[in-house]
Amino acid sequence: MRVDASSFIPIYEQIKKDIVRRVATGQLKVHDPLPSIRDLATEIIVNPNTVARAYRELEQDGLITTQKGRGSFIAGRARPDAENDLNAYLGRVMDEAIAEARKFDLGESAILGLFEERLRRNADRRKRRPA
């Protein structure tokens, strides 16, 4: 897991988003264990309280469950439709990006232009990657 300390997104939110993304993409499955609060805090060099807040909010959202003395795990609720989960996750990410763009009074055409430019840059990077 990586966090960007210079991001405007709080670190605990970055941790939450990463876990949600991993669940949505199937990298983390029901009952998979998460790193302990201390281990993750040490790994990404943040205060353990930051990780604890992320885990607490994920538990409140029903995505993870914590068992005293055993740790935190992806919640046992069914995830039958990973594609819908992924689409929902990506939709939220795009909604956040649109909301940020709106703060700068950008209209639909400007936002769409930025998105298309990013798609082109990403495609160019993929073409240049060695096989």
Q: Answer whether residue 39 is part of any domain.
A: yes
Q: What pTM, to 2 d.p., does this model score?
A: 0.65
Among 52, 74, 96, the domain boundary falls at 74
Domain containing 43 — which CATH number? 1.10.10.10
Q: How far is Cα 109 from Cα 16, in angstroms, rounded to an integer?
A: 31
Q: Are 96 and 56 contained in the same domain?
A: no
Q: Which helix (H) or strand (E) holds 110?
A: helix 108-128
Tens place of pLDDT for every residue, the chain, 131 residues?
Answer: 889 988 888 999 999 989 988 988 889 999 999 999 999 999 999 999 999 999 999 998 888 999 999 999 999 764 555 566 667 777 888 898 999 999 999 999 999 999 999 899 888 877 776 65
Q: Are 67 and 21 contained in the same domain?
A: yes
Could you tell me the residue range of the domain that residue 115 belongs to? 82-128
Q: How far is Cα 47 from Cα 37, in angstroms, rounded to an integer?
A: 9
